């Protein structure tokens, strides 16, 4: 898949239309790990896409780093094993990622999906799963990288923001873009109202992006 993502140019349009299940149908069921730190609404969006046949995948494990993360209850609801790896128990980021990689390999994961994962990853994870780690971020990258992306968009008084799914690289919130979706900013928007509308688009495009990335890998392997 490496050659597919050598460019920083998106492989889907800026405002991505919904794609049919047939268009994004994978030849085999891919094994996913989802990494999340908080509420887990994107975890649920992926689980629903799988349940309805829109994504040919299986969530093999949830990895979460915050003992109080609500995503754990979502995993229980969907009968997905949940593994707590608390970053506070590790002195170095690399050691933390080694523990994550060990769990990912235990579950024989194909793709890693960072869905609200609030930790910076290291080369340990990215080298173990080259070009197979996906992240979703609440802005139209490269604008508003890092934390508080929604608040930054409001503070900058831009008219449009959105969300981006991309392949993860060492530089925070960078790497080749898979899909972006635009969200207009309204005059009376607050961080809460804007974030809620951005999340609607996140839930729509994340399953599509997973399928696009896996399809790209399938085509590369078949060449």
Residue 41 pLDDT class (50, 70, 90 cuts): very high
pLDDT at 216: 80
Stretch 140-145: mean pLDDT: 96
Q: How many CA atoms lie within 13 A of 4 on its CB side?
A: 21
H-type helices in the chain, by residue range? 41-51, 71-77, 93-106, 123-128, 149-156, 191-222
141 pLDDT exceeds 60? yes
Q: Which of 87, 137, 166, 203 is catalytic?
A: 137
pLDDT at 1: 33
pLDDT at 139: 97
How much is the mean pLDDT over the chain? 89
Is the whole model's pTM more than 0.95, yes or no?
no
Query: Domain locations in the chain?
Result: 2-222
Residue 137 annotated among the catalytic residues of the structure? yes
Query: Cβ of 160: how many Cβ atoms within 10 Å?
Result: 13
Give the DSSP H/E element, type plus range, for residue 135: strand 133-137
pLDDT digits (tens, 9 = 90+) for 90-136: 999 999 999 999 999 999 999 999 999 999 999 999 999 999 999 99
**In angstroms, rounded to a whole number, what is the distance separating the alpha carbons of residues 99 and 77?**
25
Name the burial class of residue 108, with classes exposed (0-12), middle (13-18) and buried (19+) by CB atoms within 10 angstroms of its CB. exposed
Residue 92: strand, helix, or coil:
coil
CATH fold of the domain at 2-222: Rossmann fold (3.40.50)
Task: Check residues 186 and 9 and name the one with the higher pLDDT.
Answer: 186
Task: Check residues 85 and 10 and name the one with the higher pLDDT.
Answer: 85
Residue 77 pLDDT class (50, 70, 90 cuts): very high
pLDDT digits (tens, 9 = 90+) for 111-123: 999 999 999 999 9
**In angstroms, rounded to a whole number, what is the distance separating the alpha carbons of residues 65 and 131?**
22
Stretch 182-195: mean pLDDT: 97
pLDDT at 6: 38
């Amino acid at each position: 898949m490496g050659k597919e993502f050598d460019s920083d140019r998106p492989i889907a349009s800026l405002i991505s239309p919904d794609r049919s299940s047939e268009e994004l149908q994978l030849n085999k069921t891919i094994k996913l790990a989802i990494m999340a730190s908080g509420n887990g609404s994107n975890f649920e969006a992926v689980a629903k896409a799988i349940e309805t046949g829109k994504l040919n995948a299986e969530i093999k494990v949830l990895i979460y780093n915050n003992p109080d993360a609500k995503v754990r209850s979502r995993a229980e609801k969907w009968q997905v094993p949940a593994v707590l790896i608390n970053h506070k128990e590790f002195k170095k980021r690399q050691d933390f990622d080694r523990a994550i990689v060990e769990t990912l390999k235990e579950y024989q994961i194909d793709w890693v999906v960072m869905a609200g994962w609030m930790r910076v990853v290291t080369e340990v994870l990215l080298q173990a799963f080259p070009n197979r780690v996906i992240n979703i971020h609440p802005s139209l990258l490269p604008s508003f990288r890092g934390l508080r992306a929604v608040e930054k968009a409001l503070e900058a008084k831009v008219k449009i923001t959105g969300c981006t799914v991309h392949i993860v690289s060492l530089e925070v919130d960078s790497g080749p873009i898979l899909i972006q979706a635009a969200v207009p900013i309204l005059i009376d928007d607050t961080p809460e109202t804007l974030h809620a509308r951005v999340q609607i688009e996140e839930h729509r495009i994340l399953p599509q992006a997973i399928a696009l990335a896996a399809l790209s890998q399938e085509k590369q392997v078949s060449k």
